[in-house]
């Protein structure tokens, strides 16, 4: 089950990295329906997505080695990732639900395999 959790974490990390790239690309000037010119800045969300992706990548690698740090970071990552994607739910409902379900599956897989960690 830990291998399953690590593979799912790699998948979710790729979704987070893609979201970060799209957030960095979406920053700029936009014209509203009223004709007003506004500046939207998605850099904060891009940085947050990139941090979550890096945490997921490192935790997935550590999970494959059976490390306790990977399990703790996996819980943290999956919880943070699920909460983060709740904010995107109105904008991208299908992608958000898929990523939230993947995060819940990671938490479930780690909870089932807690006995196999080195330091626990």
Residue pLDDT, tens place only, 26-80 = 766 666 777 777 767 788 888 988 998 998 898 889 888 888 888 888 888 888 8
Q: Tell me how crowded residue 39 is: count the other CB atoms within 10 A of its CB.
A: 8
Q: Is the pTM of this model over 0.85?
A: no
d(CA 54, CA 72): 15
Domain borders along the chain are: 2-114
């Amino acid at each position: 089950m830990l291998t399953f959790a690590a593979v799912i974490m790699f998948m979710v990390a790729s979704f987070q990295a893609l979201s970060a790239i799209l957030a960095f690309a979406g920053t700029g000037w936009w014209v509203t329906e009223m004709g007003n010119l506004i500046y939207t800045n998605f850099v904060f969300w891009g940085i947050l997505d990139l941090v979550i992706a890096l945490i997921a990548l490192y935790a997935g690698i550590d999970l494959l080695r059976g490390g306790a740090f990977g399990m703790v970071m996996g819980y943290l990552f999956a919880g943070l990732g699920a909460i983060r994607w709740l904010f995107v739910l109105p904008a991208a409902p299908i992608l958000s639900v898929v990523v939230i379900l993947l995060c819940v599956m990671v938490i479930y897989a780690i909870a089932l395999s807690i006995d196999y960690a080195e330091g626990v």
